[in-house]
Amino acid sequence: MLEVEGVSYRHTRQPWLFRNLSLSIAPGEIVGLYGKSGSGKTTLAQVIANYLKPEEGIVKVNEKKVKSTGPNPVQLVWQHPEKAINPRWKMKNVLAEAGNVDPRIFDALGIAPSWMTRYPSELSGGELQRFCVARALAPNTEYLIADEMTTMLDAITQAQIWYTILQLAKKRAIGVLVISHDEQLLERICDRVIDFNQLH
Ligand SMILES: Nc1ncnc2c1ncn2[C@@H]1O[C@H](COP(=O)(O)OP(=O)(O)OP(=O)(O)O)[C@@H](O)[C@H]1O
Ligand SMILES: [Mg+2]
């Protein structure tokens, strides 16, 4: 179980973005999250994935606080893959850092073997995003936070990525938080959908 308990966050010298926010995701559960632009969804995603420290509250996976060292069981995929990948590393090195990603995931996501020896700048945004998804699906991953993950992709690539994730979520009981403005997408793939404003 992923449990977010009473977390509060504000950026330096800014008002609270959210206070006493709680939410939980069960293994294998697909939860949708929508809300106004600028309301704090990406910030919450960063708190859940341990990129930002909440001022109050705690994030737990299987009853334990997530450690800052070692592989993170909570993986975040961002809207802009170019911001998430070291531009000086070839793709095979980007992936090696994540541990042994099952090669079948590369096939399912349509990652061509020849892309492995390229640098991030030599791939399209959609191609690069598939690597971010593959990297996030490393063997230790228990929860995936998808923050506008497929917003910039065409419909076919979107469908391919979501199909792969949903299959794997079922097989490995990975819980997924889908943050999106695309209500149709949320209705289609999620077990339940929540309004960010009703969480805090
Ligand atoms: N480092 C920062 N310092 C100060 N304010 C910030 C910082 N990062 C984000 N913000 C502000 O925090 C608020 C919440 O941003 P956030 O990105 O979490 O919103 P969001 O709900 O994801 O929006 P969107 O739907 O447009 O993606 C925004 O007003 C944003 O300008
Ligand atoms: Mg956002």
| Domains defined for the chain, CATH in brackets | 2-198 (3.40.50.300)
State the pLDDT at residue 145: 98
d(CA 153, CA 174): 23
Query: Going by CA atoms, what residue is nearest to atom 27 of ligand 1?
Result: 37
Ligand 1 — pocket residues by CB below 6 A? 11, 14, 17, 35, 37-43
Specify the ligand 1 atom closest to the Cα of 45. 18
Nearest ligand to the C-alpha atom of residue 51:
1
State the pLDDT at residue 99: 85
d(CA 81, CA 121): 11
The closest of 103, 36, 76 to 176, measured between CA atoms, is: 76
CA angle 12, 17, 21 (to 5 degrees): 125
Mutate to test the pocket of ligand 1, among 36, 39, 151 (most ligand atoms within 8 A of CB): 39
Query: Going by CA atoms, what residue is nearest to atom 28 of ligand 1?
Result: 38
| Residue 38 DSSP SS3 | coil
> Are 152 and 128 contacting, i.e. CB atoms less than 8 angstroms apart?
no
d(CA 129, CA 147): 12
Q: Provide the residues around ligand 2 (an ion) whose CB is within 5 A.
A: 42
State the pLDDT at residue 70: 83
* Blockwise average pLDDT, block size 10, the chain, 200 residues: 98 95 98 96 96 96 88 94 92 90 94 96 94 95 96 91 96 98 96 94
State the pLDDT at residue 46: 96
Distance 164 CA to ligand 2 centre (A): 23
State the pLDDT at residue 86: 92
In the DSSP assignment, the letter for residue 194 is: E
State the pLDDT at residue 139: 93
